[in-house]
Amino acid sequence: MSDSNKIGLNSQTYLNERIRHLEETNRWHNHTLNVISSLSSLYQKQSLPKDKDHIIRETVPFILQIAPLETVGFCSFSSSNNEIDLTYINNPLEEHSLREDLELLIRSDRFSWALHSHCPQLYQLNNRTIVLAPITTPTRIRGMFIGKVLKNSQFKGHHKKGLHAIIQNCSYALESRELQIVIKGQNEHLIKSFISQSAKIKVQNNVDNLTHLPNRGNFQLTVKQHIKHTEYTGEKLAVVSLDLDFFKRVNESLGHDAGDHLLKAVSQRLLQSLKSSRLNNQLEDTHSAYTLSHFGGDEFCILLTDISNLDQLKRVMLQLSVDFSKPHTYNGKEIIQTFSAGISLFPDNGKTASELLQFANIALDQAKKKG
């Protein structure tokens, strides 16, 4: 064979080898892209549990598809004592061997070197090839990947690139998981705070700050609800508008603190009196049969439900008068407080909450004029 023919044959052989290499490289890159794409899709699934261990377990099969590794593990760092621990290994039978390799790498500072590298590092240990790849994100170092290369296999440059890409995806999945936990915790805290604040605002909007009784708006809403309820029950209601007599004198002579003290004491006495008045001839607590409200100043209002007759109303008002005749005490001084009242009946004197309150106030004014 002539020299020119040899040269031509060598050139053709080189060209064929080059084409084969490029085709093989192209197939590997396409395969790796498909693997990484599948892994990314897996990370994005809403049904995937977001705990760290599950993310790592789901990542391992994808690593084994693009790198010639027989044993792989993940190391984490203890925040309490800065220790490095092998927290996951795909083959428990190799755990002891891999832990020994890990200990050698740590003692020789090669582990530390790999931890601060931007790509996987290869090390020879007793005829074994070990690969280390840091699990990092811009915010922190999250751990270390460790793998043992298959015997009689080469861990080439494209294997490094593929492993690096998958480890980076895993790192960001772990970071995303942590952020989701933080955000979930913050959202839960915000929701609880919002519910708590809403409840406080609702109470503030519906309850008198001094006496902690329902305020005017709350009382009117309660009356409306009971009026609506009477469409089905046919019950009668009574609204009692009640003012404290000469309350202004208490503020003027003893001060506003005394007035506030008296209002709170009156509120409690009214509640106890209503409770003991045996509404609807019941001997037990009849809280559902009445609603006591403080409209502000010396003005109170009472809603009595399921009124059967006028004698029942007279009994309630008599009980209130008897209980009010008992003196109150403030700083060693006795205060005798009386009241005037006006009553309206549903549906006789009004068919709405406003009409009932208006009629009760008119009756109250007439009672005051009569003394």
Q: Which amino acid is at 142?
A: R
**pLDDT, tens digit, for every residue of 128-157?**
999 999 999 888 888 999 999 999 899 998
**Cβ–Cβ under 8 Å, residues 293 and 301:** yes
pLDDT tens for 94-132 read: 999 999 999 999 999 999 999 888 889 999 998 899 999
Distance (Å, whole) CA 1 – CA 145: 55
The low-confidence residues of the chain, meaning pLDDT below 70, are: 1-10, 21, 46-50, 79-81, 278-288, 371
At CA 64, angle to CA 140 and CA 82, rounded to 5? 30
Task: Report the predicted TM-score, pTM, of the whole model to 2 decimal places.
Answer: 0.54
Average pLDDT of the chain to the nearest whole number? 86
Give CA–CA dist 130/108, Å, rounded: 14
CA dist., res. 71 & res. 93, Å (int): 10
| Alpha carbon distance 16, 24 (integer Å) | 12
Domains with residue ranges and CATH for the chain = 3-183 (3.30.450.40), 216-370 (3.30.70.270)
> For position 287, what pLDDT does the model report?
44
Residues in CB range of 239: below 8 A, 6 or more apart: 223, 301, 302, 303, 304, 343, 344, 346, 356, 357, 359, 360
In a 3-state reduction of DSSP, which class is residue 330?
strand
E-state strands within the chain:
69-77, 84-89, 121-125, 128-137, 140-149, 236-244, 290-296, 299-307, 328-330, 333-335, 339-346
Residues of the chain with pLDDT > 90: what percent? Answer: 46
Strand order in the sheet with 140-149: 84-89, 69-77, 140-149, 128-137, 121-125
